[in-house]
Amino acid sequence: MNFRLKSLIIFVSLLTLFSPSFGLYAADSDFNPNYILSDEELQDYTTMNRADIQAFLQEYGSWLVSHNTPDAEGVNRTASDIIYRAAITHKINPKYLLVKLQKEQSLITDPSPAQKQLDWATGYGICDSCSLSDPALQKHKGFGVQVDSAAAIMRWYYDNLNREVWIKTTGQTYLVDNIIVRPATLATAFLYTYTPHLEGNQNFWRLWQKWFEQVYPDGSLIKTADRPTVYLLQNGTKRAFANMSALITRFDPKFILTVPESELKNYPDGAAISIPNYSILKSDSQYYLLDNETLRPFDSFSTVKSFGYHPDEIIEVNAADLTPYKSGRVIAAGQKDWLGKVTRIKENNQLYYLAGNNYHLITDKQIAKINFPNLSIEEEPAAALASLFAGAPVKLKDGVLFGIVGNSKIYVVENGKKRHIASEAVFNGLGFNWNNIIWVDEFTGLNLATGEPLYLRREVQIAEATAEFDQDVQTEISADPEKMLRAPENKTELIGPTWTTALDTYLVAESDSGEILAGKNIDFLRPAASLTKVMTAYILMKSGLNLNGSQTYEAADHRSTYHSFRVAEGERIYNQHLLYAGLVSSLNTPIKMLVDTVEENETVFIKKMNDQARAWELNQTKFADVTGESVNTKTTAREYFTIYKNAANNIEVSRTLGTKYYEYDEIKDRDGNLRHYDYHSNELANRALPDYTIINSKTGYLDEAGDGLVMLIQRNRDAKKFIIITLGNPDHANKFAEPARLTSWVITNF
């Protein structure tokens, strides 16, 4: 027997004898008719964007992935766009609409839905005794109308609860299918108002639990902070490790995630894991080797003894104990490498896993390390494979965190697929550890099919670290359009061809000539918000900022009013990376750190910004700070056009504003979270745009300013460049819709 394996088995036996029991925790996850959904969940319309909804549909192989149809207003849109717009318009969770589509007409999973299913997608406006040909119902017919109505009616219930006595509410009892129901939340009451049947709402609950309540992927090891039991998530269930030896013979404890106790309720109990891996089991007169989830029978007891096992190492079990395991290959006397082996072929240095009559390509050395930690690598000639058959390449096992060299995305493996961890906020929020990420080559990554991206439910927040995001996002929920400064309607000024919009200000100009082609209220003075950072970056570069230098965070000097930069006292970061965080993510604190590297007195630096504005003959623009947090930092669209055009002529400023995604590690880490990464705060920059290319851009937001966006774009058909500025956008929840519509108009008309 291999000495390393023999030592492991002896260690397992000792642990079995002396390890304390972990204990078990059972959670009742049965359907509660009084509580189906919280009001927070039903009304959280920010849980999924268009891309998230589309990814969800793709993950389930939905026919709706490529479905284009009229929305409620008759505009032809994709199914995911219709769902997203209905959710945003009526402030209802898009997850509710996805469940509704499945519950009513199986539209998420039906591979070939009938037109009737699409026409009555959410069951809105129909009843058990209704005739679908009734002329009175035809106004409710159509996928777009159905989705919009399903969201609209929920919002209407909230708005009209005190006006209509027939709307079910909390604090009242109702007889539903001969069961007394007392709704604990308005969301639950409204579900019964919409569907007055117990079975239908139970089906809704089951789908919600299945799709949206289990956020941790299969293969994860989880435990709560105050209970010792560790669970393996497998096939949607949680399997408790009954003792320490059962755990450490299968997994490295460093991968255990600490989760809220409430999360355990989302996973039904599976079979406990109590037997250490590589144990010898005896049931009646048959002997087995437990090889992970497989039972491998020995052909005789003499074979067991020939491999050096002692009778004291054998665990007697009954037939029921063997039920969770599948049967594997027989282990015969004289057989070598009965656990398989990892071989490096001398001629090409390639790794393979050999098991039985098959060999399996190992595309990256990390797979050998992660998947076969107890097997040493042996060198052999290519002839060793001659008598074997080629099997499928070995994939990374479930639960592994990995990245692809040359690619900035981080994934977790689940059911043989790679799930992209959507952001740093999700990574930290789920409690993942940056040190557990392994890096593999591109082929290894491509060998894993792509699964649905991994997102974070709002209530699941494990890590204390604040997510890294633009102040635009930080203030999204509390945005107050009533505070936005607006130009007087009777003094609206238009330039060039008119374009109807709710935007208070827009400007369109040729980039090369500087000619202003169209505009609205371009001389109206308003707060600049985070658009200020472009001028700050220009003055930083003009002042000789060394991008290869670095800065240490000191809260007393650098903390901003809108501080959302995940940084701890004493952490040190390269200036180049701070510039990414300041311009790409639009974070305020990194900008203040950079200013401090070239000028300790921020007032002096602000004077340089104002002096530059005067040098460019911008007489209305005034800078009161370096980040745009102050409402006293003001400009007009006409003058900001000059600022952006001149600043973007700086190579470093332009390159950074054009960066769609970045990642970096802190030079000095104090809180154990050294990795940072983020996408550009302009969502349009991360979309596939067939007609034009966004060269660089910058976002900005304050309640008083509304949303602002400036973009340098290039039309694909003739390479003509435009600068497009939108200011005073009151639609914060859908802030990129009007800029996208304006840009399409510009591409078509100029």
CB 563 within 8 A of CB 536: no
Residue 448: both structure tokens together: 């894993």
Tell me whether residue 522 is in a domain.
yes
Tell me which range, 9-13, 61-65, 261-265, 672-676, is most confidently predicted by mean pLDDT: 61-65
Tens digit of each residue's pLDDT (9 = 90 or more) over 363-373: 999 999 888 88
Tens digit of each residue's pLDDT (9 = 90 or more) over 208-235: 877 876 578 888 999 887 788 999 998 8
* 376/517 same-domain check: no
* 60/144 same-domain check: yes
- Cα dist. 732→88, 502, 737 in Å? 11, 12, 10
Measured CA to CA, the distance from residue 46 to residue 40 in angstroms comes to 11
Residue 446: both structure tokens together: 């491509």
Which among 722, 701, 744 has a CA at the least distance from the CA of 645? 722
Which among 139, 160, 195 is the end of a domain? 195
Tens digit of each residue's pLDDT (9 = 90 or more) over 143-200: 999 999 999 999 999 999 888 889 999 888 999 998 899 998 899 999 999 999 999 9
Residues β-bridged to residue 289: 280, 296
Tens digit of each residue's pLDDT (9 = 90 or more) over 124-143: 887 666 666 777 778 889 99
- Cα dist. 237→130, 214, 270, 452 in Å? 41, 10, 5, 19
Coil, strand or helix at 168: coil
pLDDT of residue 479: 53
**8 band by pLDDT with thresholds 50, 70 and 90:** very low
Which among 176, 195, 214 is the end of a domain? 195
pLDDT of residue 128: 60
**717 band by pLDDT with thresholds 50, 70 and 90:** very high
* 634/715 same-domain check: yes
Least confident of 171-185, 440-454, 513-527: 440-454
> Which runs of E-coded beta strand occur in 561-704?
572-574, 634-635, 661-665, 675-679, 692-702
Kind and range of the H or E element at 222?
A: strand 221-223
Does position 47 have pLDDT exceeding 80, yes or no? no
Does position 461 have pLDDT exceeding 70, yes or no? no
Q: End-to-end alpha-carbon separation of the chain, Å?
A: 78
**3 band by pLDDT with thresholds 50, 70 and 90:** very low
CB 686 within 8 A of CB 701: no
Tell me whether residue 247 is in a domain.
no
Residue 360: both structure tokens together: 């399996």
pLDDT of residue 129: 60
Measured CA to CA, the distance from residue 424 to residue 473 in angstroms comes to 14
The Cβ of residue 131 has, within 10 Å, a number of other Cβ atoms equal to: 10
Coil, strand or helix at 505: strand
Mean pLDDT of 493-519: 94
Least confident of 3-12, 268-277, 722-731: 3-12
* 379/515 same-domain check: no
* 49/114 same-domain check: yes
Tell me which range, 165-169, 287-291, 481-485, is most confidently predicted by mean pLDDT: 165-169
Does position 531 have pLDDT exceeding 90, yes or no? yes
DSSP 61-110: T-GGGG-EEEBTTS-EEEHHHHHHHHHHHHT--HHHHHHHHHHHH-TTT-
**306 band by pLDDT with thresholds 50, 70 and 90:** confident
Amino acid, res. 342: V
Tell me whether residue 720 is in a domain.
yes
Q: Which residue has the higher pLDDT, 686 or 358?
A: 358
The domain that holds 735 is classified in CATH as: 3.40.710.10
Least confident of 110-119, 423-432, 464-473, 593-602: 464-473
pLDDT of residue 6: 45
Percentage of the chain beyond pLDDT 90 is 48
Tell me whether residue 475 is in a domain.
no
CB 108 within 8 A of CB 60: yes
* 349/421 same-domain check: no
Does position 301 have pLDDT exceeding 50, yes or no? yes
* 116/178 same-domain check: yes
Mean pLDDT of 23-52: 71
* 531/444 same-domain check: no
Question: What is the total residue count of the chain?
Answer: 750
**24 band by pLDDT with thresholds 50, 70 and 90:** very low
Question: Is the C-alpha dihedral spanning 48, 54, 59, 64 positive or negative?
Answer: positive
The single residue listed with the structure tokens 């003001």 is 634
pLDDT of residue 261: 74
Instruction: Supply the range of the domain harboring residue 377.
Output: 341-390
Measured CA to CA, the distance from residue 570 to residue 62 in angstroms comes to 49
| Cα 441–chain centre separation | 23
* 417/488 same-domain check: no
Measured CA to CA, the distance from residue 745 to residue 286 in angstroms comes to 77
Tell me whether residue 21 is in a domain.
no
Average pLDDT, the chain: 85
Measured CA to CA, the distance from residue 651 to residue 469 in angstroms comes to 25
Tens digit of each residue's pLDDT (9 = 90 or more) over 535-551: 999 999 999 999 999 99
* 92/121 same-domain check: yes
pLDDT of residue 446: 84
Measured CA to CA, the distance from residue 466 to residue 256 in angstroms comes to 21
| Cα 89–chain centre separation | 23
Tell me whether residue 724 is in a domain.
yes
Measured CA to CA, the distance from residue 557 to residue 109 in angstroms comes to 55
Measured CA to CA, the distance from residue 700 to residue 681 in angstroms comes to 9
* DSSP designation for 453: P
Number of domains in the chain: 4
Mean pLDDT of 7-13: 42
What's the Rg (C-alpha) of the chain? 31
* 643/698 same-domain check: yes
Tell me whether residue 312 is in a domain.
no
Tell me whether residue 331 is in a domain.
no
* 359/385 same-domain check: yes
Does position 421 have pLDDT exceeding 90, yes or no? no
Kind and range of the H or E element at 611?
A: helix 602-615
Which among 173, 195, 217 is the end of a domain? 195
Q: Which residue has the higher pLDDT, 165 or 642?
A: 642
Does position 634 have pLDDT exceeding 80, yes or no? yes
Measured CA to CA, the distance from residue 414 to residue 282 in angstroms comes to 33
CB 64 within 8 A of CB 107: yes
